[in-house]
């Protein structure tokens, strides 16, 4: 049996070619009115499952996945709800010191499978600190390690922001993770084709889902830099898979702050190219 295991139910297929037309890698072709794997199709297939998803009759199976395994009920939020979610999303720096409800965590982890990756590479891994006690352990480990470098004056120049917070660090403040109860760390396989962008898309979707659940989130450059600084320890603490590198970090948890209004932002530079511009 081929690896693709592309099969068509002859009782359902109408030969409409929809699957062949939607295949992004020309891995399918029509033969005597039926879709089949094209020449070199096994090699070119990127495993996106579009043939399975797009078939109007539910006649296509691939990689052992059948139409019955797929979702069919699609509920979309209203555009003004999506716009409002983005307008009122704030970076949270005041969190409740408690583990979030399991139902919320399950919803967050469940959506991670739906993030797109370049060439459908799917080379992402997520380390999720899902318990506030475990997070406190990481917090304290990183705090002590930073403090030691401050005291021995061995911090690289890029960590001036740590030195500037020396006194509160000495008092035990969490200057890296804003006292968040959870973090998600996206790592990516080193040979992934779109390794710079895939993890960021995933975390952006994670943030949207988290905010829709009423959770606070923070993109955390501080944590990313600190994990680079203590890379060996971070890899161990976060169980980063061999051959993966940490790509970015997001804090999340129940917020301990409310914003009765949004901020007031100027629009960014936007250029509309409405006519074919001259090359000169």
Ligand X SMILES: Cc1cc2nc3c(=O)[nH]c(=O)nc-3n(C[C@H](O)[C@H](O)[C@H](O)COP(=O)(O)O)c2cc1C
**CA torsion angle 130 233 113 209 (round to 10):** 50
Rounded to a whole number of angstroms, the minimum distance from the CB of residue 80 to ligand X is 19
CA atoms within 13 A on the CB side of 146: 31
CA atoms within 13 A on the CB side of 68: 1
Q: Which is nearer to ligand X, 34 or 91 (CB)?
A: 91
Q: Which is nearer to ligand X, 6 or 126 (CB)?
A: 126
Rounded to a whole number of angstroms, the minimum distance from the CB of residue 35 to ligand X is 44
- Residue 53 parent element (H or E): helix 50-54
In angstroms, what CA-CA distances link 258 with 82, 90, 215, 254?
A: 19, 10, 11, 11
Which of these, 232, 256, 249, lies nearest to 135 by C-alpha position?
Answer: 249
Q: Which residues make beta-bridge pairs with 37? A: 28
Binding-site ranges for ligand X (CB under 6 A) = 90-91, 93, 178, 218-222, 263
Rounded to a whole number of angstroms, the minimum distance from the CB of residue 63 to ligand X is 35
Q: Which is nearer to ligand X, 178 or 246 (CB)?
A: 178
Q: Which is nearer to ligand X, 60 or 220 (CB)?
A: 220
Residue by residue, DSSP assigns 132-162 as HHHHHHHHHHHHHHHHHHHHTT---GGGHHH
Rounded to a whole number of angstroms, the minimum distance from the CB of residue 214 to ligand X is 16
Rounded to a whole number of angstroms, the minimum distance from the CB of residue 278 to ligand X is 36
Q: Which is nearer to ligand X, 59 or 250 (CB)?
A: 250
Helices (H) and strands (E) in the chain, counts: 11, 8
Q: Which is nearer to ligand X, 126 or 224 (CB)?
A: 224
Structure tokens at 32: 């005597």
Rounded to a whole number of angstroms, the minimum distance from the CB of residue 195 to ligand X is 16
């Amino acid at each position: 049996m081929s690896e693709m295991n592309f099969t068509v139910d002859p009782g359902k297929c109408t030969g409409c070619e929809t699957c062949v037309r939607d295949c992004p890698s020309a891995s399918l072709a029509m033969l005597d009115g039926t879709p089949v794997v094209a020449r070199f199709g096994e090699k070119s297939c990127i495993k996106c499952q579009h043939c399975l998803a797009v078939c109007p009759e539910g006649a296509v199976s691939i990689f052992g996945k059948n139409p019955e395994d797929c979702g069919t009920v699609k509920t979309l939020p209203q555009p003004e709800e999506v716009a409002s979610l983005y307008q009122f999303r704030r970076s949270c720096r005041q969190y409740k010191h408690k583990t979030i409800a399991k139902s919320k965590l399950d919803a967050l982890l469940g959506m991670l499978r739906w993030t797109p990756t370049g060439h459908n590479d799917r080379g992402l891994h997520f380390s999720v600190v899902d318990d506030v006690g475990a997070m406190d352990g990481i917090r304290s480990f990183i705090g002590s390690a930073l403090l030691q470098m401050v005291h021995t004056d061995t911090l690289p120049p890029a960590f001036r922001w740590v030195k500037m917070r020396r006194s509160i660090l000495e008092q035990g403040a969490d200057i890296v993770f804003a006292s968040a109860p959870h973090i998600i760390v996206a790592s990516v396989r080193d040979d992934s084709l779109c390794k710079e962008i895939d993890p960021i898309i995933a975390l952006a979707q994670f943030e949207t889902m988290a905010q829709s659940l009423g959770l606070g989130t923070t993109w955390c450059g501080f944590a990313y830099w600190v994990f680079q600084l203590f890379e060996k320890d971070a890899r161990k603490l976060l169980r980063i898979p061999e051959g993966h590198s940490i790509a970015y970090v997001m804090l999340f948890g129940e917020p301990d702050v409310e914003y009765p209004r949004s901020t007031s932002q100027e629009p960014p530079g936007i250029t509309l190219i409405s006519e074919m511009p001259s090359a000169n």
